[in-house]
Amino acid sequence: MKEQETFYPIGALDQFLPQIGRTVNWREWEIAVFRTSDGGVYALENRSPHPKGGPLAEGIVSGHYLYDPLHDWKIDLTTGLVQLPDQGQVLTFPAKVEGDQVYLAAPAIQTV
């Protein structure tokens, strides 16, 4: 049985401009939050999976993909998966909009 997620407010929807990333410090994470042109809100850890790292919040959003600003890797905003020919994954956070507020929940981190 899946544990129910608890969402926490991180700001008003109008603080998250369409197709422009915004950095939010929440708990122990630095998170890049993106609002797509269709109104979706997505949250990723603000750290590129590229071996040289770098922030993601300044990346370019196109549809439901983010282009890493330093390495031009294409990252799926819904899953955090880097698209071929590159590979890797970014930690994603459940995000939602209710009324005029944006909310985040802690990521589901799998341990082996």
Residue 89 DSSP label: B
Kindly state the average pLDDT of the residues 72-93. 95
Kindly state the average pLDDT of the residues 21-48. 94
Spatial contact of 48 and 59, defined as CB atoms under 8 Å apart: no
> All domains of the chain, ordered by start, with CATH?
16-96 (2.102.10.10)
Nearest to 58 by CA among 33, 79, 40, 93: 33
Question: E strand or H helix at 31, and its extent?
Answer: strand 29-35
pLDDT band at 27 (very low <50, low <70, confident <90, very high): confident
The CA dihedral of 2, 64, 31, 91, to the nearest 10 degrees, is 50
